[in-house]
Structure 1
Amino acid sequence: MNGRLYEACFVDRGKAMRRVVVWLKRLRNDERGNVLVLSALGLLLLLGMGGGALDLSRIYLVKTRMQQGCDAGVLAYRKSMQGTNVLPTTYPTALAYFNANFSPGRYGSMNTQFPQPTVDANVVVHGTATTTVPMALMQIFGFKQITLGSTCDAQLQLPNTDVMFVLDTTGSMTDTNPGDSDNKITGLRNAVLNFYNTLEQAKISGTQVRYGFVPYSNTVNVGLLLKREWIVNNWTYQSRQFDRQQQDQTGTQGNTVTTSSAWTPAITPTTTTSYGDPENCSAPANTAATTNSSSTPWNPSASAVPRSRTNYRTYEGDTYSAIVNSSGQCVITKNSYPSTQQSQTQTVSNNPNAGQPTYTTRNYFWYKPVSYDVSAFKGAATSGLMAGASNVSMANVNAPSGSNATGSDQKVSWVAASACIEERKTLRPGETGTAWDMDVDSTPDTSKPETQWAPFLPALLFARQVTNYTATPPTGFNTADVNTTAGYTQLSSYPYNRAACPSPARKLQSKEAGLTSSALQSYLNALLTRGDTYHDIGFLWGLRLISKEGLFGSENTSAPDGSSIARNIIFMTDGDTESHIQDYDAYGLSALDRRRTDPSSLPSDSDQNSIVEDRLTRYCTIAKNKKGITVWVIAFGTDLTPLLKTCASQGRAFQANNSQQLNDTFAEIAAKIAQLRLTK
């Protein structure tokens, strides 16, 4: 009970006692007093003193419990807000907490009020509570009741805090959850920005709050965050080298030439588009077909030259095509052809070049692992970091140009938008040594390339001896060197799925250092959605970027004031592990490189998925148990699987089925990170 309450109570008792004293003085001056009157007066004095003490004790109890109710109410009010926004359920929740601590009528109180709290510009919640307490014994002296009041404030307050977002930005993030009007990546952008604003509002003067980001899919885009000496000078890719060009006589020209006109009338199809699974984008089988084919007799005869005839057919049905676009969406185009009778003219005429030889120019390539000098991507930035480069020539990859007798160069770029990496040396099952890729903290040794990282360069990769690359899985991968004229798939043909490079990662940065709300909004808006789901590589680099012992330890050890930092990883995914052996990922072209699987056999997608999930679990354990990092996991539009629950710290796993739930989840995480406190 505060001083004002004591003062009020003692003032009221003082008034009563003064009245009694005045009355006693009058009695003293009246010599007609008697013993009975004096005894009654003594009893009255004792009653006044005892009754005042009893009522004062009850007032103290009521005041204390009402203050507890007020405190509970404002804490519940702030906690149930969504970031900085008051929801329709916020006040009812706060009122319920108030009533649970100080129910109406408690200790005989009356007219208890806990009006809706207010929120000021600093997002401090201000609450008040009032009640009326009727007097018990003090009513004898004319004091029937007293009105009590309490004030209470609550605010989110942050210690020094680092938050690393590890975000699944695979192609499926272009999908829309049931009930949502916007796709998942839009919901993610909004939720992260609201989270940022909540923490910034809760930040105490003098504290540091930093935010970092690792978008992931097949690999991660961290290349320009690394020092030059951490990247290899040479790296081997599943590539090709031009061998030779030769002309071969393949026959002689015939005596006649056959030509055919276009089918008429032309058919204009009805075109519609739909969307498929971006991580397994394939088109339905075509149903378009020709029926009722027939031809007129040759005119003037079947052996005359020249001669002609008319062909007829009925054509109808649907054709399909599928492509992953630059936004990461799987766009399926359907062309529907109505049933149409068509005709064409076919003509056979004399060939003026009859008997002359025909030649075919063939370019022969060796498809094999090839070592390339990649040092040109290092640059010479004064910061000592990788600089990247555009149109770097990689020799002898393509066919000759003009009269050049050797192969022409492949132009390769490795810049901010595509500065993804291949991981350093790992171990296959049964191998011994050091799995450097699973070493979170060690700095590369320039004398040991196995400890360094390499540029991710899809333009240098070719799927050796695969004829149907879009099949699931494709067949024909050959680890042996192949000399052929065949033009196998170049991985740069699949920049949005099979060889996807996500948006650049960001190191931890505070608002004061440049990560303002507008800068964050621009970054989030630029996030690309593409590729498949390799959880392990995303979490690994989130861990590397936040670790106080590792590659960036000098930036992460302590806050500017020298105090400690509370570290958090928020790991969000919208789906299960999704890897494919024809993907170019952080470990090369898996079907050929086999860096994490048995080199003697073609791995399966299932083999790779198991490896990815096992390593994710290991990295989560390192974060929680060895580094003291709180790991928050969000399953967005997907089930919260045992894998994800195991990854999270205790009580820190969430499932959000739509964008509103995602926003609510980020708000809850922000409140728990910020540490809700009473400020009055």
Structure 2
Amino acid sequence: MTDAANPCPVTGVFARLARDRGGNTLAMIAAAIAPLMAMVGGAVDMSRSYLAQARLQQACDAGVLAARKRMGSQAAVTGEVPQATGEIGQRFFNVNFRDGAYGSTERRFTMSLEDDFGISGAASIKLPTTIMRLFGFEELPIAVACSAQINFSNTDVMMVLDTTGSMAQTNPGDSASRISVLRSTVRDFYAQLAAASGPGTRIRYGFVPYSTNVNVGSLLDDSWVVNQWTYQSRTLATTLTSTGTTTYNANWQTISGTVTSEPYQTYPATYRAPTSETGSASYSCDTPAPASTATTTTTLISTTTEPFAGPPAGTRTIRHYRQIIDGVSYSISRSGTTCRITKSTYAALTREYDQITDPVNHTSSQWLYQPVTLDVTNWRNDAAGCMEERDTYPITNYEDVDLSRALDLDIDLVPTATDPRTQWRPMYPGIVYARAMRWNGTGSFSKAPVTTTEDYVNPGAGGFAACPARARKLGTMTAAQVDSYLNTLTPAGNTYHDIGMIWGGRLLSPSGLFAEENGDVDPGRPTARHMIFLTDGVTDALDLSYGTYGVEPLDARRWDGTQPQSLNQTVENRFAVACAEVKKRNITVWIVGFGTSLNPVMRSCAGEGRYFEANNADELTATFATIVKNLSKLRIER
């Protein structure tokens, strides 16, 4: 029976259901499941893509860094990229992002060489999706770019270059002399650094050519040089005059007969290398000529005398001779590297001539050899620029050097105008004599004065007081300026390594003579300081030399021959002390032996990995390229 007041009782059930919220949650979840899956899937796939992109970027960076390092800096000079550059870059990329990493496909990596010799790279992959493929996104393309360049911080480079006589020699296998190879190598070194330096980077160069001494006068203030100095010299004691004779032949006349000359033979001259640092190469004709068959008969025809007006007045004696030559003779001459033998045939060649004897005055000078004190205030005009060192002492304990006495080894000490001990002294080779050494090699050194008519050895005239090309303090230079400077280098003199190290340190130090110029230009970019020390020989000091410590056996400032150490050992020990002082200034020392082996002192000075031995031009070029690599820093650019 139906209730008239409630005609549809089911309606109440649906109303209660409509008011019940418990079923709505299921419906909402069902409606949101698809967007949620898309969000989660996107997050998962994007996370994978970020990981893959980061790894791909690392691989790209590794590839261009390896390629740029392999290419080095020589490409800036030769214009040629080493063949293995691309291969090595690809190899490093492949190792850092392996094929199929993260499920990727279509891995690609390309590199290109830029105008500034940087290497740019581009890498790409396709990364398959996992969940997002349900929504139509099957893969994600990923691409990165990278670039590597060799760059320098602000850098000061001091070239300390051996320009002794042996640099004129040519190493086996080379076609140019050592000095020519050095010039070419330094030019290439400059080009490599110039190519690698970035905008805003300051690279300065300085040069210290050294041999028996260094030429630094043009770099010194007037107040750094003494006003007077004492030299091992001589003064005229008296003039001696005596009378004698002189004889000479004159008035040749051909009377009869003939002589004919013709080429007989040619052959290459024998090359003779220098026997010392101060010597020079020569050629000789060692193959003798055939024996001569010519005979010469000389007959006195007459003797006459006549008054000679002089001075001195006296009698002239004239002897008239007849000479007859018959037969064949041979003579040898040399033109360059070719020897020539000439054959001369004489057919009763008859000549007459006068032999004349005249009175003559012979004048000789008697010299007092002794130390002489001179005014040297005009040294800039009178001297070449090489300097004698300031005060020092003979060191017996090199583990405990007193720099308050060895002022030459205190590389930062600025001279005091009122203290001659701290000042330098100009060299005057023309007035210095090695008392009492004779030119024939006899004699001995005498600290005591000597009065004599003999001419003792003048080191300047004997080639024992070489003053090399002017040193150049640090400054920016163009390629043309570098080239012009290198052309001033001339081989001469003996090998004194210590004075090269001392002045190289003085000109490079940020806290010494040129502190205002050598300090860091930017506190945020400290200057890197490097000394490149090149030599082609072992220490070769000579007691006869007039050098930076005067005539050593006579001036006895650091050595006089009475110490247990030789002069060479003294030079090397002081080199070691100077090197240690240089490195205290945070200067990196590189030492290169060119055509020679480096001794333990030099190897210890540079330290492991910073000394090199190059036997020829190619090895020297490779050595300097290695130094450039070590001076530079590889940089990733983005």
Output the TM-score relative to the length of structure 1: 0.72
Correspondences of 1:59-98 after superposition (within 5 Å): 59-79=49-69, 80-83=71-74, 84=76, 85=79, 86-98=81-93
1:654 to 612, 619, 622: 612
> 2:582 — aligned with what?
623
> 1:19 — aligned with what?
none
> 2:309 — aligned with what?
none
Matched letter for residue 152 of structure 2: L
Correspondences of 1:255-270 after superposition (within 5 Å): none
> 1:29 — aligned with what?
none
Pair 1:462 & 2:433 matched: yes
Pair 1:450 & 2:421 matched: yes
> Does the CA contact (< 8 Å) of 1:215 and 1:503 recur in 2?
yes
> Does the CA contact (< 8 Å) of 2:269 and 2:283 recur in 1?
no
Pair 1:152 & 2:126 matched: no
Pair 1:101 & 2:96 matched: yes
Task: Name the SS for the 1:372 alignment partner.
Answer: strand
Q: 1:349 to 1:209 in 2, by over 3 A?
A: closer
CA distance in 2: counterparts of 1:655 and 1:106, whole angstroms: 46
CA distance in 1: counterparts of 2:198 and 2:355, whole angstroms: 91
Q: 1:177 to 1:47 in 2, by over 3 A?
A: farther
1:1-31 CA-to-partner distances (Å, cap 9, x unmatched) read xxxxxxxxxxxxxxxxxxxxxxxxxxxxxxx
Task: Name the SS for the 1:59 alignment partner.
Answer: helix
Task: Give the deviation of 1:460 after TM superposition.
Answer: 1.4
1:528 to 475, 482, 490: 490
Of stretches 653-662 and 263-272 in structure 1, the one that deviates more from structure 2 is: 263-272
> 1:281 — aligned with what?
279
> Does the CA contact (< 8 Å) of 1:461 and 1:491 recur in 2?
yes
> 1:504 — aligned with what?
470
Task: Name the SS for the 2:559 alignment partner.
Answer: coil
CA distance in 1: counterparts of 2:460 and 2:249, whole angstroms: 39
CA distance in 1: counterparts of 2:45 and 2:498, whole angstroms: 67
CA distance in 1: counterparts of 2:445 and 2:529, whole angstroms: 46
Matched letter for residue 549 of structure 2: Y
Q: 1:529 to 1:258 in 2, by over 3 A?
A: closer
Q: 1:94 to 1:531 in 2, by over 3 A?
A: farther
Corresponding pairs, count: 577
Correspondences of 1:81-480 after superposition (within 5 Å): 81-83=72-74, 84=76, 85=79, 86-121=81-116, 123-135=117-129, 143-250=137-244, 272=269, 274=271, 276-277=273-274, 279-281=277-279, 308=322, 310=324, 337=341, 359-377=361-379, 388-389=380-381, 413-414=382-383, 418-430=384-396, 434-468=405-439, 474-479=441-446, 480=448
Task: Give the deviation of 1:231 after TM superposition.
Answer: 0.9
CA distance in 2: counterparts of 1:337 and 1:203, whole angstroms: 60
Task: Name the SS for the 1:67 alignment partner.
Answer: helix
Alignment identity in percent? Answer: 38
Q: 1:102 to 1:440 in 2, by over 3 A?
A: same
Task: Name the SS for the 1:117 alignment partner.
Answer: strand
Task: Give the deviation of 1:71 after TM superposition.
Answer: 0.7
Matched letter for residue 158 of structure 1: F
1:401-429 CA-to-partner distances (Å, cap 9, x unmatched) read xxxxxxxxxxxx32xxx311111122225
1:490-531 CA-to-partner distances (Å, cap 9, x unmatched) read 33335xx52221111111113xxxx33322232223333322
CA distance in 1: counterparts of 2:337 and 2:482, whole angstroms: 35
> Does the CA contact (< 8 Å) of 1:536 and 1:612 recur in 2?
yes
> 2:14 — aligned with what?
none
Correspondences of 1:475-490 after superposition (within 5 Å): 475-479=442-446, 480-490=448-458
Of stretches 522-531 and 137-146 in structure 1, the one that deviates more from structure 2 is: 137-146
Task: Name the SS for the 1:115 alignment partner.
Answer: strand
1:452-475 CA-to-partner distances (Å, cap 9, x unmatched) read 111122211234444446xxxx44
Task: Give the deviation of 1:434 after TM superposition.
Answer: 0.9
| Unpaired stretches in structure 2, ≥5 consecutive residues | 1-28, 305-318
| Unpaired stretches in structure 1, ≥5 consecutive residues | 1-38, 322-331, 378-387, 390-412
CA distance in 2: counterparts of 1:265 and 1:590, whole angstroms: 58
The structure having more radius of gyration, on CA atoms, is 2
CA distance in 2: counterparts of 1:115 and 1:188, whole angstroms: 39
Task: Give the deviation of 1:613 after TM superposition.
Answer: 1.6
CA distance in 2: counterparts of 1:246 and 1:475, whole angstroms: 24
Output the TM-score relative to the length of structure 2: 0.76
CA distance in 2: counterparts of 1:575 and 1:253, whole angstroms: 49
> 1:565 — aligned with what?
527
CA distance in 1: counterparts of 2:452 and 2:458, whole angstroms: 15
Correspondences of 1:559-598 after superposition (within 5 Å): 559=521, 564-590=526-552, 592-598=554-560
> Does the CA contact (< 8 Å) of 1:169 and 1:529 recur in 2?
yes
Of stretches 306-315 and 566-575 in structure 1, the one that deviates more from structure 2 is: 306-315
Matched letter for residue 82 of structure 1: S
Task: Give the deviation of 1:190 after TM superposition.
Answer: 3.6
